[in-house]
Structure 1
């Protein structure tokens, strides 16, 4: 339920509804978010780096950061979208925390439960209470981050390059530019960029770029009424015919067939 702060909580399973393609699609949101996995396991690609997750993993994802799921069976948890909260400082980089201490797990679950109660309610002082619990969440993240090494924000050159590449792709994937453009912007060769991407997320730079582009193509086809030729132009394809051939080759069906089926 949305209120003035724009805060929202939902089961993680709701983020992956709509078919297998949507579950694994690259995505980004305009709001900071926290994913709290309480059961199951899978794989999460955030900011160009892939790693596995399991029960009692907390992942903080800043607004505008690309990520994708690969969920195993019986994955449960909560997704918190922080909306337009002001005041509490939250991390500017993705953070993946494995919470092994039962008390620390209970602290996070308690904060999320209270945020859910306030967001769904209409009691006096609701907005101040939400801000207060958000402040507690900020402190919780700060304390846990001091105790654990955050692999996604590690200082390795490969992870820094992968993160910067991911940020550039999110900004420019619709322009039609190829890997050589991104490599030049990052001051490396295309070969080195591809090697780093294979190391950090298991796919080449061109595959990473294509996945973001075609994830957006599938979203636009499924969720909007925009003509195919307009979608092709918005995603930087030279012509609707080229877009159709590329989509067919990657997705196994034409854009129109995909739209009809979704």
Structure 2
């Protein structure tokens, strides 16, 4: 195989800074990926919201997020690290965790091991070989084993989130499934068996934002993604996200972002 026949891998190993290169909204707004990801922060600090619950992160924090996990995190110029994107549908084959995991690795030997596992994946990505995918699956399997052992050997700080956390987790999961419909916070609250006021109160408690802000953040992240990454007409984007009309979508988008969808698309 020649360099012109570049091996296309379903894995991605990228600097975290690459995620924010198109604007802070790409990391801070609520979103999810269609594949499992591992976030490895090696420098800097900030806050990260996972399934509606906000926590601080700092150097040598490792987060594993299953596919479809709604999240967003602060990304300043001081933050360094790596994101590992696993192949879609690889959870069972690799025995990856089925819940979000946040670990603070204080021991230098654990930090070195994780760095080595990520570097091994990165090196295989740079090879032009039809055996690279098999090698990467083996390295990813070792990474999965490492995660499992950390979960067994350490206390994960999210272990007891309580009734409040479970309610917000359930709300975040519903939003992730149905944000493209015209459902309101009142509809989500009714489905969860609580009042809209109570739902917003617990969201404020766990992440500092009401339920409506979480919902709008997720919708408008998707709108911005579609505007910058596709050529779908604005009226069709509006329809796909549950807006009654393109005009209503434009007003809502401008209120959320400070610019119109057409201007945002041109600027992106």
TM-score for both structures, normalised by structure 2: 0.90
Report the count of equivalent residues.
262
Contact 1:93 1:153 in 2 (8 A): no
Residue 110 of structure 2 is matched in structure 1 by 104
SS of 1:92's equivalent in the other structure is coil
**Among 6, 10, 17, the residue aligned to 1:6:** 10
User: Would you say 1:228 and 2:234 are equivalent positions?
Assistant: yes
Alpha-carbon deviations, 1:141-183, whole Å to 9, x = none? Answer: 1121223333445341111111111111011111111011111
Q: Who is 1:87 aligned against?
A: 93
- Counterpart of 1:255 (choices 247, 261, 268) is 261
CA contact 1:94–1:153 (8 Å) conserved in 2 = no
Q: Which consecutive unaligned segments of at least 5 residues does structure 1 have? A: none
Indicate the residue corresponding to 1:118 in structure 2: 124
Instruction: Say if 1:5 and 1:228 are closer, same or farther in 2 by CA, change over 3 A.
Output: closer
- Structure 2 residue corresponding to 1:158, chosen from 164, 173, 197: 164
Q: Distance in 1 between matches of 2:134 and 2:266?
A: 46
Query: TM-score scaled by structure 1?
Result: 0.92
- Alignment correspondent of 1:209: 215
Distance in 2 of aligned mates of 1:223 and 1:4: 20
Deviation at 1:5, TM superposition (A): 5.9
For the residue of structure 1 that corresponds to 2:164, the secondary structure is helix
Task: Select 1:38's aligned residue among 34, 38, 42.
Answer: 42
Q: State the distance in 1 between where 2:83 and 2:26 align.
A: 17
Residue of structure 2 equivalent to 1:142 = 148
**Deviation at residue 114 of structure 1 after TM alignment:** 1.2
Q: Report if the CA contact (8 A) 1:94-1:152 is conserved.
A: no
Give distance in 2, aligned partners of 1:254 and 1:119.
39
SS of equivalent to 1:192: helix
Shift of 1:207: 0.7
**Cα displacement (A) at 1:62:** 0.5
Counterpart of 1:55? Answer: 59
Structure 2 unmatched ranges of 5 or more: 1-5
C-alpha separation between the residues in 1 aligned to 2:159 and 2:245? 39
1:16 aligns with 2:20: yes
CA distance in 1, matches of 2:247, 2:229: 21
RMSD (Å) for aligned C-alpha atoms: 2.1
Kindly indicate whether the alpha-carbon contact (under 8 Å) linking 1:49 and 1:152 is maintained by their aligned counterparts in 2. no
List per-residue Cα deviations over 1:61-103 (Å, max 9, x = no partner). 1011111121233211111111154632111111110000111
